[in-house]
Amino acid sequence: MSSMSPRKTPQLCSEPGCGQPAAFSTRTKSTWCDAHITKMLRQGGLEPLEPFTKPKAWRLTRCLACGCEAHYRFEYTLEKNAYGEATCRACYWRQWAQEARQAMGAYADLSPVPEAKAREHAEKNGYDYLSALTTPSFSDDPHHVRCRYCGRLSAARLGDIAFGCQCQTNPRRERQTSKPAGSKQRDLLKDSELPVLDWWDHEHNDVATWETVTVKARREAAWRCPDCDLRFTKRILDMVNMRECPECEPKRRAEWEAQYARYQVTPVADVPELLAAWDDDEDPRTVMVADYGPQRRFRCPRGHHPRLSPHTYLRHGCPSCRGQDTLAERIEAVEIDPEAFGLNAEIAAQWHPTKNGKTELSKVSPGSRKLMWWRNPDCGHEWQETPARREQGQRLRCPECRTILDSLAYHFPELAAEWSPANALSAWQVRPTGQTLFAPAWICSANPDHAWQAALSSRANGSGCPECREHGKSRIELDHWSAAERAFGRASSGQSVRHEAFARRANWLVDITVETAGAQKLAIEYDGCYWHADKTDLDIEKSRDLLAAGYMVARLREHPLPPLPIDDPSYAEFVVYSATPTPDETIERVRAWVSRRDEGAGAQR
């Protein structure tokens, strides 16, 4: 008799005494049925005009007080209800603007805002202008607008309209968008080059932890103080933020406190460095180094005259000199790498060559609020904007074309080449990991007859044409195949191998086959932990058959798969980690092993 899994009990409304099914499920928060959700909306002064979907979804509503139709999230209404405030922003901003004008009295700006000016402002920032929500409309009064991209209705002031709709917010995510397709986005501690790596205790931490742990990990690890050799355990995140030895740190703190106590009774005249720079009217013999009095005047060797405490000058020197040195280092770094301490490369490439006068690009800070001239090399449009504003809000690449920074076309031109012209937006108007209101269409670059739909994040993470891809191969296997092609020049995936030396089968499908520079062929097998957990015997027989046929065999075994009991000079295993795949690094280790094998074989001949 076949067994059936028990039906999941529906979650019920959290309202006491209500036994109706909840409109949405949740693990830790309250949930309600549709009737109680509507009741809560009415409590916030709204009437729903669309069915409920989920708490974070935008839902069209009508204000019961003023009749303004707008989209709000149910979570937003719950928040306002908790404060006893109506949800409708049209009502809120009308009241706010009226109270602000009353507070300003005769200084209030009572110049009406022309509808044509408000319409132009809204359209410039991606909205369709519907109407003013006050008559006449003064400064800070709300306006009714609709986003051209997501269709969301809202009531907003002109200043808020200038930021554009939330759907157009384009946060800077260079680590997520500039990564190679298919790679994992993890900040591994071993690759961080942080000073804390010198404290890592390789003897007491296992290899798996070293290979997979991130800089933000909250697990404890073993550490070894490079000064006193003390071994201790501490959370990785804490050590990354502040390296402290339980034994050395109290000693350093006690030494600093003792030294500071001595400076409290030590005159400036007794410290040669301070006395040489002293330029204050007060007698240095009467002023203590750790003095709580007024700031003192010093003269540094470069002629600066800073005013600061003697103790601060002794510890840090002249602040003007430090600033000049930092600026010089920054300029030098920018000359070597334009993105180091400077504008990101995409914005820097739009620097106008003639309209910025004597201002040098290398000296412009990303946070500068000075208006600069820019020119988009793709369309030729020119405009003025501050570097700081270019990295905020919508982060437009061109304000006239409405293209964005960090777009799919900029980071992944090979994917942009497959972006279908039938899509509502261009590849310059979408982020690689963004979301769209439509399912993006793609056209295969290898075969234009192949067309399909796939999310942006799926493509940015390595998915390809479903009709061209290798069937039966996982993404991670394909990534290692690509790495093998880069390392060896040529590699085959899923090749069927036949040989008279095979004892178990007439043929084997090899994950990756490589023609090496030596006399032997190389077979690379990727053993995933999930699929190979109960295939030890099969993996052993396959390896032995390939070795008997004259192949070198390299098995990439996912941790924690145990090693296979094979002892052969042409066989090697390499531990890999599913959480942090590094195809190029792993294949390079395989290539180094092959090179050593070839060199050893040549020496024997």
Residue 12 in any domain: the answer is no
The number of distinct structural domains making up the chain is 5
Residue 190 in any domain: the answer is yes
Asked if 282 and 303 touch (Cβ cutoff 8 Å), the reply is: no
For residue 297, how many other CB atoms are within 10 A of its CB? 15
The sign of the CA dihedral 554, 560, 562, 567 is positive
The residue out of 197, 227, 249 marking a domain boundary is 249
Query: Which tokens sit at 377?
Result: 């090399």
The sign of the CA dihedral 597, 602, 604, 605 is positive
pLDDT of res. 291: 85
Q: Are residues 588 and 479 in the same domain?
A: yes
75: helix, coil or strand?
helix
Round to whole Å and give the CA distance between 534 and 528. 11
Residue 595 in any domain: the answer is yes
Residue 182 in any domain: the answer is yes
Longest dimension (CA), the chain: 101
The residue out of 249, 266, 288 marking a domain boundary is 249
Round to whole Å and give the CA distance between 108 and 269. 60
Residue 515 in any domain: the answer is yes
Q: Are residues 156 and 117 in the same domain?
A: yes
Asked if 228 and 247 touch (Cβ cutoff 8 Å), the reply is: yes
Residue with tokens 């279908």: 420
pLDDT of res. 266: 95
Residues listed for the chain:
605
pLDDT of res. 517: 72
Q: What is the β-pairing status of strands 143-147 and 127-132? A: antiparallel
Residue 40 in any domain: the answer is no
Q: Are residues 151 and 186 in the same domain?
A: no
Q: What stretches of 37-152 adopt beta strand conformation (E)?
A: 46-48, 58-63, 69-73, 127-132, 143-147
Q: Are residues 118 and 183 in the same domain?
A: no
Enclosing H/E stretch for 102? helix 89-104
Q: Are residues 147 and 196 in the same domain?
A: no
Class of residue 28 by CB neighbours under 10 A (exposed 0-12, middle 13-18, buried 19+): exposed
pTM to 2 decimals? 0.55
Amino acid at 338: P
Q: Are residues 194 and 126 in the same domain?
A: no
Q: Are residues 237 and 199 in the same domain?
A: yes
Q: What stretches of 423-470 adopt beta strand conformation (E)?
A: 441-443, 451-453
Residue 1 in any domain: the answer is no
Share in percent of the chain as helix, strand, coil (round to 5): 35, 20, 45
Q: Are residues 487 and 557 in the same domain?
A: yes
pLDDT of res. 4: 44
Q: Are residues 441 and 484 in the same domain?
A: no
Residues near 425 by beta carbon (within 8 Å), at least 6 away in sequence: 436
pLDDT of res. 473: 64
Q: Are residues 579 and 524 in the same domain?
A: yes
Q: Are residues 413 and 400 in the same domain?
A: no
Quote the domain boundaries for residue 149: 90-168
- The answer to whether the bond into 136 is cis (omega within 30° of 0) is yes
481: helix, coil or strand?
helix
The residue out of 198, 220, 249 marking a domain boundary is 249
Q: Are residues 510 and 598 in the same domain?
A: yes
Residue 288 in any domain: the answer is no
CATH code of the domain covering residue 589: 3.40.1350
Q: Give average pLDDT by consecutive 10-residue segment, the chain, 605 residues.
A: 50 92 90 95 96 93 97 96 95 95 90 95 92 93 93 95 86 55 63 92 92 90 95 94 93 94 95 95 94 91 94 94 82 62 82 92 85 94 94 90 92 90 93 84 85 85 68 73 88 84 89 80 91 90 94 94 94 90 92 84 55
